[in-house]
Amino acid sequence: MNRTIGVFDSGVGGLSVLQHIREALPEADLIYVADSGHVPYGDRTAAFIEARSMALTRFLLSQGAEAIVIACNTATAAAALPLRKQFSKIPFIGMEPAIKPAVAATKSNVVGVLATVGTLESARFAALLEKYAGSVKIVTQGCPGLVEVVERGDLRSLEARRLVERYTAPLLQAGADTFILGCTHYPFLAPLIREVVGEEISLIDTGAAVARELKRRVDTELPPRVAMGVIGSESFHTSGDVERATRITSQLWGKDVAVAALPQAYS
């Protein structure tokens, strides 16, 4: 029997993390939930995000998840601690903006952060800045509208380019040579961001690091399981429109997939 890993996000952005998880744990069965019926989380209250995170976690556990990845910076900031308290026997792996590696990478001593307003205003983000920024100047930029662009699959649209140009301009003007992609949706816009800002800017996201941490915790905290060389499966669920979710998920995942409706009890 394969290991089962649950992953949830406010929408389809966490698929960027799921790709890294698949590479790190090829034998695991992956269950992904996009809470697209309530996207974006960035302008929601912490109480709302916590409630949604609890509901999505309960669904994933009902499907046999043995560990859960909170593939959303905003949900991690609002709900990671309550989730770990409520479900103390389940390993939870969250997201956080990659301040530490960005500070190590910058040569101009200026780092730009592209993120949702919810992430930038969180106590967790403030603590990261205090811990890792040091003498490096951190320039933050909230990015209303970027999550919605990815949710529509409009990765090359004129609107997407205009938003990217608007949000990256202040960071470039401040002298940032390293940009943190502080939302799991944003890696899908990385090619467009690269076109706008040029090859000299380093783009950093945390998906690979999260997958490595997940594998470490699965290997150390869960009972050992003999892998039989069977490639794991993926299943996809949404609280939003199923037809739309199937189209966008297939586009971002890179192959045709079926997306199921999240049961009403969890929606």
My answer on whether 191 and 110 are in the same domain is: yes
- Please tell me the predicted confidence (pLDDT) of residue 226: 66
- Please tell me the predicted confidence (pLDDT) of residue 265: 96
- Please tell me the predicted confidence (pLDDT) of residue 248: 98
My answer on whether 214 and 180 are in the same domain is: no
- Please tell me the predicted confidence (pLDDT) of residue 49: 97
Asked if residue 225 has pLDDT above 90, the reply is: no
Reported confidence tier of residue 2, pLDDT bands at 50, 70, 90: confident
pLDDT tens digits, residue range 18-76?
999 999 999 999 999 999 999 999 889 999 999 999 999 999 999 999 999 999 999 99
My answer on whether 243 and 123 are in the same domain is: no
pLDDT tens digits, residue range 236-251?
999 999 999 999 999 9
Higher pLDDT residue, 178 or 231?
178
Q: Which residues contact 106 (CB under 8 A, 6 or more apart)?
A: 136, 176, 177, 178, 202
Asked if residue 208 has pLDDT above 80, the reply is: yes
My answer on whether 33 and 161 are in the same domain is: no
C-alpha of 174 from chain center: 26
My answer on whether 48 and 33 are in the same domain is: yes
User: Could you tell me the CATH number of the domain that includes residue 64?
Assistant: 3.40.50.1860
SS3 percent helix, strand, coil of the chain, rounded to 5, is 50, 15, 35
My answer on whether 162 and 36 are in the same domain is: no
Reported confidence tier of residue 228, pLDDT bands at 50, 70, 90: low
pLDDT tens digits, residue range 140-162?
999 999 999 999 999 999 999 99
My answer on whether 127 and 85 are in the same domain is: no
Exactly one of 183, 196, 197, 252 is catalytic; name it: 183
pLDDT tens digits, residue range 61-112?
999 999 999 999 999 999 999 999 999 999 999 998 999 999 999 999 999 9
Say which DSSP state 263 is in: P
My answer on whether 211 and 149 are in the same domain is: no
My answer on whether 211 and 84 are in the same domain is: yes
My answer on whether 165 and 251 are in the same domain is: no
What does the pLDDT average to over 206-224?
A: 94
Exactly one of 28, 72, 164, 211 is catalytic; name it: 72
What does the pLDDT average to over 219-225?
A: 88
My answer on whether 120 and 74 are in the same domain is: no
In the chain, the number of structural domains is 2
Residue with tokens 């995170």: 53
Our answer to whether residue 183 is catalytic in this structure is yes
My answer on whether 177 and 225 are in the same domain is: no
- Please tell me the predicted confidence (pLDDT) of residue 42: 83
Reported confidence tier of residue 1, pLDDT bands at 50, 70, 90: confident
Cβ-defined contacts of 212-219 (< 8 Å, 24+): 212/24, 213/93, 214/5, 214/21, 214/24, 214/25, 214/67, 214/69, 214/91, 214/93, 215/24, 215/25, 217/67, 217/91, 217/93, 218/3, 218/5, 218/25, 218/28, 218/66, 218/67, 218/91
Asked if residue 196 has pLDDT above 80, the reply is: yes
Angle at 95 between CA 185 and CA 46, to 5 degrees: 85
- pTM for the whole structure: 0.94
Reported confidence tier of residue 227, pLDDT bands at 50, 70, 90: low
**Residue 50 is inside which H or E element, if any?**
helix 46-62
Asked if residue 133 has pLDDT above 90, the reply is: yes
Range of the domain at 198: 99-204
| 138-147, 208-217, 226-235: segment of lowest average pLDDT | 226-235
